[in-house]
Chains A and B, each alone.
Chain A
Amino acid sequence: MSAKSVKRKTTASVTGGWEQMLKAVPMPNEAARVTSEDLNGTITVTVPTRAKRFLFPPISWVIRPPKERQAVLDPLGATIWRACNGNRTVEEIVDNFAFQHRLSFHESRVSVTSYIKALLQRGALAVAVPDREA
């Protein structure tokens, strides 16, 4: 649950809400792989980076960007990463995370979706979103 102080005058009751997002199915990027796993549950996910268009010789002889990017996930993040296996909707992952950690639905939703968002930005995950009409 992430309540925020209301400063704007618009109504909270906008249509739609977050239902569509809950029906999305996150799945791991096929190119991403777990490269290390600690005993405490921390894992490192390595994602190959795409070569930048402007990096051609001779610029690429000087600027050498890394070919891979690493994301270190703490034990909680690792749980979410493993749950994003392409078989579960965000809603199911949120419910399971809430149950495991004794959180309310919205507390879990905010935690899980912000983590999924971060993993999406790092290219570790992809998301299948159902049709709005479906």
Chain B
Amino acid sequence: MSSASEKTTEWVWHQIGLQVPVAWECLQYSRNPDVGRCAFADRYGFRLELNWRRFKSEPDFERMLKDYARSLESSWGKVRSVTCRSWPGLTGKRGKEAVSRFGRYLHDIGLLVELVFIHEDRRDKELEARLLPTVRVVAPDDAGYQQWRAFGMEMHVPARFTIAQCVVEPARIGLRFDGARRPDRWIFRRYGMVDSWLKQPLRDWLAQQADAEVRDIRPESTTRGSIGIERLNGRWKPRGLLLPRGQFASSAWVDPEDKRLYQAICITGKRHQAQHPNGGADEMMKSCPEFLVIPKIR
């Protein structure tokens, strides 16, 4: 079955954006901005790898491909050089699978990006031609926010923040971005199976989630389109004279489309005060229900 006709959605990770079929899920990811990988799989196996590696200047990718082809010849058999939408690459057979590898240096962010397609049987040129041109650099916007779009969430965090933690479990996803100094910490969460565990009003649940360090809490209910949002704004004031203080904002909502609970928490110190979402933490996060593809019952 060709995947080329499938609906796609954008994945943005470490400023690299690309369209991925919605039925493919990310099963491996790297937090390291200098070298790493995101690997996407359909229900039977890995289908796409997005690899990146930082280089100070443009590497000789053609040479790298030649060396790579030479090293693969023993295990892959015949390795061919190919070009797809001006992306240089090589392709070959690995057992029953056809594997194609394409690469390009993204000058703006100094990363060599490689896309590896693992086709079930034969090389799906249509799919490669469809996905490769969608690779782009997603630079921070004018307001100084970098964008991340992954695991059903679109997140905007200050450009200087780095991803510190990523937890991906069934029906429980959490990404934490930290600034260079305390207390800068923005957290984004997405929960599934909400009917099974949320047995109280969302407002009460959100209030329970707030740490003891949060003072002067101002709860607020609002709507965005058809989504009812609960907000908590306040001050981050830990006990202790020398502990840094800041602003606190937290929001939660259940998306009516995918029935998942989304929560955004922004703890922002003085340094990034201008970027703190005073309106509510939900300004920094959007739910992306298109990421959730539920299998049909058998």
Contact = CB atoms under 8 A, between A and B. Distances in A.
B45 A98 contact: no
A105 B31 contact: no
A19 B44 contact: yes
Interface stretch (A7-15, A32-40, A50-58, A63-71): A7-15
Given A107-B192, A108-B170, A11 B30 contact: no
Contact of B168 (A1, A19, A99): A1
A95 B169 contact: no
A49 to B, nearest CB: 31
Contacts of A99: 294-297
Contacts of A110: 169-170
Contacts of B95: 15
A15 B94 CA distance: 8
A15 B98 CA distance: 11
Bin the interface of chain B by size. Answer: 35 or more
B165 to A, nearest CB: 10
Contacts, number: 119
A1 B294 contact: no
A107 B171 contact: yes
Bin the interface of chain A by size. Answer: 35 or more
A99 B23 CA distance: 14
Contact of A101 (B169, B196, B291): B196
Contacts of B44: 17-19, 22
B298 interface: yes
A44 interface: no
A104 to B, nearest CB: 6
Nearest to B193: A101
A111 B294 contact: no
B36 A104 contact: no
Contacts of B30: 5-6
B29 A1 contact: no
B96 interface: yes
B170 A96 contact: no
Which 5 pairs of residues, A with B, have the shortest CB-CB distance?
A17-B45, A12-B39, A3-B168, A107-B170, A99-B297
19 contacts: A1-B168, A2-B169, A4-B27, A4-B29, A6-B28, A6-B37, A13-B39, A13-B49, A17-B41, A17-B45, A17-B46, A18-B45, A76-B196, A91-B43, A102-B260, A103-B193, A103-B294, A107-B192, A111-B170
